[in-house]
Amino acid sequence: MKVKLPDGGIKEYSGAVTPGQIAKEISESLYRNAVGAVVNDQLWDFERPIDFDCELRIIKLSDPEAVEIYRHTMSHIMAQAVIRIYGTDKVKLGIGPTIENGFYYDFDIEGAKITEEDLPKIEEEMKNIIKEDLKIERFEMGKDEAIEFMKNRGQNYKVELIEGIPDEKVTFYRQGEFIDLCRGPHLPSTGKVKHFKLLSISGAYWKGSEKNPMLQRIYGTAFAKKEELDSYLKMLEEAKKRDHRKLGPQLDLFFINTEVAAGMPIFLPYGMAVLGELMTLSRELHKKYGYKEVGTPLIMHEKLWRQSGHWEHYKDNMYFTEKEEITYAVKPMNCPGHILIYNNKPVSYRELPIRLFEFGRVHRYERGGVLHGLLRVRTFTQDDAHVFCREDQMVDEVSNIVRFINELYGIFGFSYRATLSTMPEDHMGEKATWDKATEALRDALEKMGVPYEVAEGEGAFYGPKIDFHVRDILGREWQCATVQMDFQMPERFELVYKDSDGSERRPVMIHRALYGSIERFFGILIEHFAGAFPTWLAPVQAVVLPVSEKYVDYAREVAVKIDEEKIRVELDDRNETLGYRIRENQMKKVPYMIIVGEKEKGLSQISIRTREGKDIQGVRVEEFLSKLKEEITTRSIKSTIE
């Protein structure tokens, strides 16, 4: 039996061997730092025997693959602690997987409910288990035996899980008195990773279905090094500080009146200034990329929505209004409106592609529990467009959109991740059509050199799509842009164009939004920039501060000059000390403070204090203005005045 190592070396064994033994042969320190192995691309337990030819790589605690292993083990340690505290006959276990930044475990605890206050207690017990450094052992059991085993222990959820496993045998892991059904792999012992924190508690339906009982879920996270845990916790704290729901009202951008308009943010003048800039940018680029802006009604006759299929598929999320016994729907999407425009006149193949764009205000009913600041709302404005084109134009059109996205996101300094979602089980239309459209999306991505992942079966039922997830400065991802192919709408509305040979043909329809929702994008920007917007976006771009009352006239003069250049400027001549006003404007994150007093007035100059705290003295107003204008018109992310 041959084992090939990453360095190309080959070790030969006559019988079964574990990664642990191999690691020990290589070096003692590797053995000590190892947590598992990758055997033929599969994660493998450190002490699980191998009895076949394979490629093997030892995973050290610091390797990326280790994360999954030790977090999974940590979830077992947590489950063990919970059982110790609440009693083995009281606790029924659900599932306990790793997730993006940590892990969770679901519990059904008889006669007790866990609250946040119980977390320290559970953490204590987890520390004990870690200290005990219990050996973690893997073993297999026949399915029937396993079911019997779990039945005896009253673990009905586990029984259900085992019944759902197709294999003949299932695997278990044991650490001390704790045994759990698990695919693994796990750490060799509970003492290997020490740095963890339990974060929160929530309810979670068994198997995610509302029909099933609700279990209690504990979320936690774990890291190999203390510094990593600390920096993750710090990131959470930083995210909390940047929370747009806090910064929004604080910076007078928007607020939400939950009594009369839950899920419907109210924008204040400063907030509208930012949204206005986002819209101006969007309009400029839409023009550049060949779109025509249109406007469609907020409410339209119910029959339109019956024809579009929304009535059937989306009614629960729609708002309605009625007058003179006619029911109107408040639009949840803009596509039917754009289709009316397409169908308004006969279309020739020469006119295609037709690209219709709208800042479409849509309303969608969302259940109360899901509303979240600007990110999950009941009304929002999409930078929505529909491209009607011939089949042979699909790749070019999608490429055009990708190019657009690159330019748009580049302005904010966002990188992104793209996912291509393919045909779901429940779909409409021919597989051949799906394949053609999916290929068009794929071709465009490849042509544009955009890396992407494929999400099999995740497409909308009416067509495949590409989603773009932007990554913000804290590394969090937000789904913004989406490009969706649609074969349903053209059918339902009998869209046609006259082809060169005189025949009538059906156009392809592409739905796409780039910001997604401008309000939501705004929310993301607030958090990304922590409220300190680049100058072009800042609600107030400069504020003029006279040192005292005596210089208010000069300050006003300066402010007028700035205002004449269409720069958003304010005069802060409140009867407060200079220090006080500086502090206030600093906290409002105004990019530039213009300070004028005796010195400046005499020389027709200004002093500038930047948001970063830099002090620049003796500048001519014109000089400042030309630099500031440059910074704004180029939409620079960084301050250029220093």
Partner RNA sequence: GCCAACGUAGCUCAGUCGGCUAGAGCGGCUGACUUGUAAUCAGCAGGUUGAGGGUUCAAGUCCCUCCGUUGGCUCCA
| CB of residue 444 to RNA, shortest distance in Å | 21
Please give the Cα distance from 497 to 80 (Å, whole number). Answer: 66
Question: Which residue is listed with tokens 């207690």?
Answer: 121
Give dist(CA 160, CA 150) in Å, integer: 10
Q: Which position among 26, 289, 461, 498 is part of the footprint of RNA (CB under 7 A)?
A: 461
Q: Does 116 bind RNA (CB under 7 A)?
A: yes
Burial 309-334 (b: 16+ CB within 10 A, else e): bbeeebeeebbeeeeeeeebbbbbbb
Cβ closer to RNA: 163 or 615? 615
Q: Show the 3-state SS of 219-234.
A: EEEEECCHHHHHHHHH
- 137 versus 491: smaller Cβ distance to RNA: 491
Question: Is residue 203 within the footprint of RNA (CB under 7 A)?
Answer: yes
In one letter, which amino acid is 585? N
Q: Which of 382, 393, 488, 541 is catalytic?
A: 382
Among 609, 624, 631, 639, interactor with RNA by CB under 7 A: 609
265 binds RNA (CB under 7 A): no
Interface with RNA, residue 415, by CB under 7 A: no
User: 335 an active-site residue?
Assistant: yes
The first and second tokens of residue 516, run together, are: 């997604």
- Does residue 113 interact with RNA by CB under 7 A? yes
- Please give the Cα distance from 441 to 78 (Å, whole number): 44
- Binding piece for RNA, criterion CB under 7 A, among 55-63, 175-183, 259-267, 400-408: 259-267
List the interface residues with RNA, window 577-596 (CB under 7 A). 577-580, 582-583, 586-587, 593, 595-596
Of the listed 72, 192, 338, 386, which one is catalytic? Answer: 386
Cβ 489 to RNA shortest distance, Å: 8
φ/ψ of 577, rounded to 5, equals: -65, 160
Determine the 3-state secondary structure of 117 from DSSP: helix
Strands 477-486 vs 465-471: parallel, antiparallel or unpaired: antiparallel
217 near RNA (CB under 7 A): yes
The nearer residue to RNA, 26 or 109, going by C-beta atoms, is 109
SS (H, E, C) 132-191: HCCEEEEEEEEHHHHHHHHHHCCCHHHHHHHHCCCCCEEEEEEECCEEEECCCCCCCECC
CB of 634 to RNA, least distance (A): 26
Which is the catalytic residue, given 45, 106, 383, 384? 384
CB of 219 to RNA, least distance (A): 7
Q: State the number of CA atoms in the 13 A half-sphere of 111 facing the CB.
A: 6
Which residue shows structure tokens 């009594």?
259
Span interacting with RNA, options 251-259, 277-285, 514-522, 620-628, rule CB under 7 A: 251-259
Q: Is 511 annotated as catalytic?
A: yes
CA atoms of 527 and 477, how far apart (whole Å) = 12
Facing residues of 355 across strands?
A: 387
Active-site residue flag, 195: no
Clarify whether 435 is annotated catalytic. no
Q: How far is the CB of 370 from RNA (least distance, A)?
A: 4
Q: Which residues are catalytic?
A: 335, 364, 382, 384, 386, 465, 511
What residue ranges bind RNA (CB under 7 A)? 113, 115-116, 200-205, 208-210, 214, 216-217, 219, 245, 256, 258-259, 262-263, 308-310, 312-314, 332-333, 366-373, 460-462, 488, 547-550, 575-580, 582-583, 586-587, 593, 595-600, 607, 609, 613, 615, 617
